[in-house]
């Protein structure tokens, strides 16, 4: 066990403080014994008796304090100087140690070779954050981002909805020499966890987790997750299935059901309306993209697409929406097969073929 300098200093301070208080208590006691409460003498001396007309030499009333036997008050007050001095010294020693602590905590020492107490405290806090981050990850993120944080496919062969988080582009060790990349990575991670990332259905969205976004997590908890992602070691990630077991949750990812597949017009409104218009009297936002309000009646428009349809391919429009650049190389219409998935494409195609009919 290493001895924590903080603890030693704290114990020393408490002992000193106790000594100080004890010492003053002792002095007060001592003083009480040295100067006991006394009756007032000499009042009776004032009671004089005179005969009428007698001339009496008036004695001057005076007061004589009895001289106590022991202890000698002069002796006590002589020591008092030294005692007060000693007490003062102890008090200043307390201040001194506090100051010393602030000075030495930044430096490396035999007990803390890697940059002193402060660095050790930061490291300790970081390990604590990573550990809490693991518990949060295991219960909230595991099912989408995977037991090893790498998403992709799990050992059972299921495709997980999330993206890899345990990757070099997020790691402090990899980024530490590039402060701006480090800052960008941290901000991307924090913002994504806070606000989530909405994807058009039927794709999975990254949920928003911050309390301000209606989620369950505080700033501090989001920091703990971020610290796990940036500072977590391979052992931390490999430990994740055990954390799940500790929380009595299954090791296999429980992939949440995919978001409800919306109807074709919703897909079109969410995904296609950024370029295309679906209303007769409104031009498309993107001048190159045709207005599709009557596409079911007039389509296809492009020679390439017409040729594909004429070849008897029943999937001509699905092929276009999934991957237009494959049908017409160089077109400005992007591919949507990946984002919408088969179901999404099928729905929007069915919707397009009803338009204008």
* DSSP state for residue 201 in the 8-state scheme: T
- Asked if 328 interacts with ligand HEC (CB under 6 A), we say yes
Binders of ligand HEC among residues 270 to 299 (CB under 6 A) are: 271-272, 274-276, 286, 288-290, 292, 295, 299
Find the shortest distance in angstroms from Cβ 242 to ligand HEC: 18
Instruction: Please tell me what DSSP assigns to residue 3.
Output: P
Sole binder of ligand HEC in the list 5, 249, 302, 323 (CB under 6 A): 302
Nearer to ligand HEC, 30 or 171 (CB): 171
- Computed over its alpha carbons, how large is the radius of gyration of the chain? 43
CA distance 27 to 296: 103
Query: What are the φ/ψ torsions at residue 141 (nearest 5 degrees)?
Result: -115, -25
C-alpha dist (Å) from residue 236 to 138, 152, 181, 232, 233? 11, 19, 23, 6, 5
Which region, judged by CB under 6 A, interacts with ligand HEC, from 8-16, 51-59, 136-144, 233-241?
Answer: 136-144
To ligand HEC, the closest distance from the beta carbon of 124 in angstroms equals 23
Q: Considering beta carbons, is residue 88 or 152 the nearer one to ligand HEC?
A: 152
In sequence order, the β-bridge partners of residue 210 are 217
Q: Is 237 in the site for ligand HEC (CB under 6 A)?
A: no
Q: What are phi and psi of 58, to 5 degrees?
A: -75, 120
146 touches ligand HEC (CB under 6 A): no
The answer to whether 154 and 146 are in contact (CB under 8 A) is yes
Main-chain dihedrals φ then ψ at residue 54, nearest 5 degrees: -75, 140
Q: Quick one: how many helices (H) and strands (E) in the chain? A: 14, 0
Tell me the C-alpha to C-alpha distance, in Å, between residue 338 and each of 71, 156, 255: 99, 23, 19
Please state the closest distance from residue 288 (CB atom) to ligand HEC, in A: 4
Q: 62: which 2 tokens?
A: 């005076």
- Which part of the chain contacts ligand HEC (CB under 6 A), choosing from 28-36, 68-76, 105-113, 155-163? 155-163
Nearer to ligand HEC, 20 or 321 (CB): 321
- Assess contact for 157 and 252: CB atoms under 8 A: no
Considering only residues 71 to 130 of the shown chain, the ones binding ligand HEC according to CB under 6 A are none
Shortest distance (Å) from residue 119 CB to ligand HEC: 27
Size of the residue set binding ligand HEC (CB under 6 A): 46
The binding site for ligand HEC (CB under 6 A) comprises 140-141, 143-145, 161-163, 165, 189, 192-193, 197, 199, 204, 206-207, 209, 225, 256, 271-272, 274-276, 286, 288-290, 292, 295, 299-302, 305, 320-321, 328, 331-334, 336, 348, 352
């Amino acid at each position: 066990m290493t001895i924590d300098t903080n603890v030693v200093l704290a114990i020393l301070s408490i002992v000193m403080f106790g000594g100080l208080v004890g010492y003053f208590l002792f002095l007060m006691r001592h003083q009480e014994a040295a100067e006991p409460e006394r009756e007032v003498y000499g009042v009776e001396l004032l009671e004089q008796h005179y005969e009428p007309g007698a001339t009496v030499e008036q004695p001057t009333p005076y007061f004589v304090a009895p001289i106590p036997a022991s202890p000698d008050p002069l002796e006590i007050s002589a020591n008092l100087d030294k005692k007060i001095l000693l007490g003062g010294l102890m008090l200043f020693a307390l201040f001194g140690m506090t100051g010393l602590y602030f000075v030495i905590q930044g430096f490396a020492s035999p007990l803390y070779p890697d940059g002193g107490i402060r660095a050790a405290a930061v490291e300790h806090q970081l390990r604590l954050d990573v550990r809490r981050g693991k518990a949060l990850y295991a219960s909230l993120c595991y099912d989408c981002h995977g037991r090893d944080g790498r998403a992709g496919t799990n050992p059972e062969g299921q495709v997980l909805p999330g993206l890899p988080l345990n990757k070099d582009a997020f790691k402090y060790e990899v980024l530490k020499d590039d402060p701006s990349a480090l800052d960008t990575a941290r901000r991307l991670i924090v913002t994504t966890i806070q606000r989530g990332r909405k994807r058009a259905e039927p794709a999975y969205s990254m949920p928003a987790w911050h309390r301000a976004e209606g989620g369950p997590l505080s700033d501090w908890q989001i920091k703990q997750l971020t610290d796990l992602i940036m500072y977590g070691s391979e052992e931390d990630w490999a430990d994740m299935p055990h954390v799940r077991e500790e929380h009595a949750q299954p090791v296999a990812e429980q992939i949440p059901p995919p978001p409800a597949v919306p109807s074709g017009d919703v897909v079109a409104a969410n995904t296609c309306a950024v370029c295309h218009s679906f209303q007769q009297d409104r031009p498309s936002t993107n001048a190159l993209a045709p207005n599709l309000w009557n596409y079911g009646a007039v389509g296809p428009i492009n020679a390439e697409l017409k040729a594909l349809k004429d070849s008897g391919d029943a999937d001509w429009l699905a092929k276009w929406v999934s991957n237009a650049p494959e049908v017409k190389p160089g077109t400005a219409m992007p591919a949507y097969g990946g984002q919408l998935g088969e179901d999404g494409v099928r729905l929007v195609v069915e919707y397009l073929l009803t338009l204008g009919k």
